[in-house]
C-alpha cells in the first residue's frame, strides 16, 4: 500500500512539474517541515518520512531535468560557493569519519551512513529549490509553503501548551521522541519537530524571516500572512523556553534594530513575544526556577544551571576523552564499544564534532561556514533584487546558528537545518530579470539598470 501511494505521488508530481517545476520545491518544503520530526523507520523501514519524500522528489527533479536538457542541449555546469562549502563539510564530517569507521569496525551499519552523510539531505533540498525557482511567482510559491508549514508547527505547539488532547494524542502516535517524554514534567513543548530546542530555533527563524521580508519586500508575501506567521511563531516560541534560541533571536533582533526603518518590526516581534510570556507564564516561571532557583529560599543562582551543567560536561567528561583521539574523534558508537561508556550527549555543536569526527570535522565545519558566509556577503554587496534579500537572511541565520551552536547541535535540528539551506538556495537562484522600461531624458533604459532596488521594492 505504501509503495502504491509513493508511485502515484511520484507520477502526479512529475505530471504537474512539467508545467510548474517550482511545485516540486513547494511540496518538498511543506512536507519536510511537517514530517521531519517523525521517528526513523516509523513508516518506511530505516528511513525517516522526510528522507523518503526528499528522495522521491529528487528523482522526479532529475528525471525532469534530464528531459529538459535533452530538449535544450547541453548547458554549462556551474559550481557555486554553496557547493564548495558543502563539499568541504561532507569530506571532513562525513567521508573521512565513515572511512575510519569502516577501517576500525570492518564495516558500517545504515545508522553510520545516516549519521555521517546527514548533510546530503540538506544539499539535495538546496539543489532542488535552486534548480526550479526561476521567477517571482516560483519564489512566492516556495515562501508560502514555508510560512504555512511554520504556522502549522506553531499552532500545534500552542495547542500542545494548552493541553489539547487530540494534539497530544497526535504527537504520541506519530511524533514520539525523547523530548516529548520529558515535555510535561519539564513544562515545555516540542510540537511536531521532536525537540524543544528545534522548536525554539525554528520559531526564532520564522520571526526574523517575517520581519526582514516585511521590511525588504512587502509586496512579495501578503503582509497579513507575515504578521500572522510572526504572531503564531512568537506565541509558540515562549513555551519552548529554550535559552540558546532566545539568545539567537536577540542577536537577530539587534541586527534589525541597527537600522532605524526596521526597528518597528523588531519592536512588534518583541511585543508579540511579550504577549506569549504573559499567556504562557507558568512555562517561563518553571524554567526560571529550574535555572536560578526559587525567590525567597536564599539559594538563587547567578549563573543558569544549564551553563554550569554544560561546563561540567565539557571539562570533566568530553575534553579528557577528546584529547585521547583529537585528530579523528570516536564516531557515533565506537566509545561504548571500546569501554568508555559515554551515554550523555555533547550539548554543543562543536564538542559534538570533536567527539564524532575530531579536529578534522570541526575544521571542516568552520571552513564550510567561512566559505558560505564569504559567498553570501559577496552576493549581498554585488547582486540586486531577490538574491540580495535572501543573502542577507542567510547571513543572519548562519551567524545566529553558529553562536547558538555553542549550546547544542542546532545546525542539524529538525526544521532548522532545512530552513538554513532553503535560504541558501533562494540566495543563489537565477531569477528572471524584469524587462520594465523607464525613461531618462531622451533615452529608455531597463528599470533594473536605473534603480535595481526600486524594481523589487527593496528597502
Question: How much helix, strand and coil, in percent to the nearest 5, is found in the chain?
Answer: 70, 0, 25
Least confident of 160-164, 193-197, 248-252, 436-440: 436-440
| CA 54 – CA 60 distance, rounded (Å) | 10
Helices (H) and strands (E) counted in the chain, each on its own, are 23, 2
pLDDT number for residue 411: 95
342 confidence band (pLDDT: 50, 70, 90): low
End-to-end CA distance of the chain: 51
For residue 61, the cross-strand partners are none
Query: Which class for 75: exposed (0-12), middle (13-18), buried (19 or more C-beta within 10 A)?
Result: exposed
| Residue recorded with cell 512539474 | 17
pLDDT number for residue 20: 86
Q: For the chain, what percent of residues have pLDDT higher than 70?
A: 85
What does the pLDDT look like over 28-49, one tens digit per residue?
Answer: 999 999 999 998 888 888 889 9
**Does residue 187 surpass a pLDDT of 70?**
yes
Contact 122, 418 (CB under 8 A): yes
pLDDT number for residue 320: 86
What does the pLDDT look like over 9-35, one tens digit per residue?
Answer: 666 777 777 678 899 999 999 999 999
7 confidence band (pLDDT: 50, 70, 90): low
Please, how many CA atoms are within 13 Å of residue 153, restricted to the half-sphere of its CB?
Answer: 39
| CA 124 – CA 387 distance, rounded (Å) | 20
pLDDT number for residue 140: 93
Q: Which residues of 323-353 are buried (b: 16+ CB within 10 A; e: fewer)?
A: eebeebbbbbebbeeeeeeeeeebbbbbbbb
pLDDT number for residue 76: 52
216 confidence band (pLDDT: 50, 70, 90): confident
pLDDT number for residue 3: 63
DSSP-derived letter for residue 318 is: I
In terms of average pLDDT, the best of 65-74, 101-110, 251-260, 437-446 is 251-260
**Does residue 110 surpass a pLDDT of 50?**
yes
Cell of 335: 566509545
218 confidence band (pLDDT: 50, 70, 90): low
Query: pTM to 2 decimals?
Result: 0.88
User: Which SS3 state, helix, strand or coil, does residue 439 take?
Assistant: strand
| Residue recorded with cell 573521512 | 96
**DSSP assignments along 11-66, one per residue:** HHHHHHHTT-THHHHHHHHHHHHHHTTSPTTSSSTTS-HHHHHHHHHHHHHHHHHH
Amino acid at each position: 500500500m505504501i509503495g502504491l501511494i509513493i508511485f502515484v505521488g511520484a507520477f502526479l508530481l512529475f505530471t504537474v512539474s512539467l508545467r510548474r517545476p517550482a511545485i516540486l520545491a513547494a511540496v518538498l518544503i511543506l512536507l519536510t517541515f511537517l514530517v521531519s520530526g517523525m521517528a526513523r523507520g516509523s513508516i518506511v523501514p530505516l528511513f525517516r518520512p522526510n528522507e523518503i519524500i526528499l528522495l522521491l522528489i529528487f528523482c522526479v527533479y532529475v528525471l525532469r531535468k534530464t528531459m529538459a536538457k535533452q530538449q535544450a542541449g547541453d548547458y554549462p555546469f556551474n559550481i557555486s560557493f554553496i557547493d564548495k562549502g558543502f563539499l568541504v563539510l561532507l569530506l571532513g564530517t562525513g567521508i573521512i569519519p565513515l572511512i575510519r569507521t569502516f577501517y576500525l569496525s570492518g564495516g558500517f551499519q545504515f545508522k553510520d551512513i545516516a549519521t555521517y552523510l546527514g548533510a546530503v539531505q540538506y544539499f539535495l533540498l538546496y539543489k532542488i529549490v535552486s534548480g526550479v525557482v526561476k521567477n517571482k511567482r516560483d519564489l512566492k510559491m516556495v515562501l508560502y509553503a514555508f510560512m504555512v508549514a511554520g504556522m502549522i508547527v506553531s499552532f500545534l505547539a500552542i495547542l500542545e501548551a494548552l493541553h489539547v488532547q487530540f494534539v497530544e494524542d497526535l504527537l504520541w502516535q506519530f511524533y514520539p521522541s525523547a523530548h516529548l517524554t520529558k515535555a510535561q514534567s519539564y513544562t515545555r513543548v516540542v510540537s511536531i519537530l521532536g525537540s524543544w530546542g528545534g522548536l525554539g530555533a525554528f520559531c526564532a527563524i520564522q520571526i526574523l524571516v517575517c520581519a526582514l521580508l516585511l521590511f525588504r519586500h512587502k509586496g512579495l508575501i501578503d503582509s497579513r500572512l507575515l504578521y500572522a506567521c510572526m504572531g503564531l511563531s512568537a506565541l509558540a516560541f515562549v513555551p519552548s523556553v529554550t535559552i540558546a534560541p532566545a539568545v539567537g533571536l536577540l542577536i537577530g533582533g539587534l541586527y534589525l534594530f541597527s537600522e532605524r526603518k526596521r526597528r518597528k518590526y523588531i519592536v512588534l516581534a518583541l511585543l508579540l513575544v511579550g504577549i506569549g510570556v504573559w499567556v504562557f507564564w507558568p512555562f517561563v516561571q518553571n524554567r526560571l526556577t529550574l535555572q536560578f532557583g526559587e525567590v525567597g529560599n536564599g539559594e538563587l543562582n547567578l549563573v543558569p544551571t544549564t551553563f554550569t551543567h554544560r561546563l561540567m560536561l565539557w571539562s570533566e567528561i568530553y575534553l579528557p576523552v577528546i584529547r585521547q583521539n583529537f585528530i579523528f574523534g570516536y564516531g557515533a558508537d565506537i566509545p561504548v564499544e571500546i569501554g568508555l561508556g559515554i551515554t550523555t550527549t555533547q550539548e554543543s555543536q562543536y564538542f559534538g564534532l570533536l567527539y564524532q569526527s575530531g579536529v578534522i570535522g570541526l575544521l571542516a565545519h568552520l571552513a564550510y561556514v567561512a566559505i558560505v558566509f564569504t559567498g553570501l556577503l559577496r552576493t549581498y554587496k554585488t547582486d540586486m533584487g531577490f538574491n540580495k534579500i535572501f543573502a542577507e537572511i542567510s547571513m543572519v541565520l548562519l551567524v545566529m546558528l553558529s553562536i547558538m551552536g555553542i549550546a547544542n547541535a542546532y545546525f542539524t535540528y529538525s526544521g532548522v537545518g532545512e530552513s538554513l539551506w532553503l535560504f541558501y538556495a533562494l540566495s543563489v537562484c537565477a531569477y528572471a530579470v524584469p524587462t520594465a522600461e523607464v525613461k531618462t531624458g531622451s533615452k529608455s533604459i531597463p528599470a533594473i539598470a536605473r534603480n535595481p532596488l526600486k524594481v523589487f521594492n527593496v528597502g
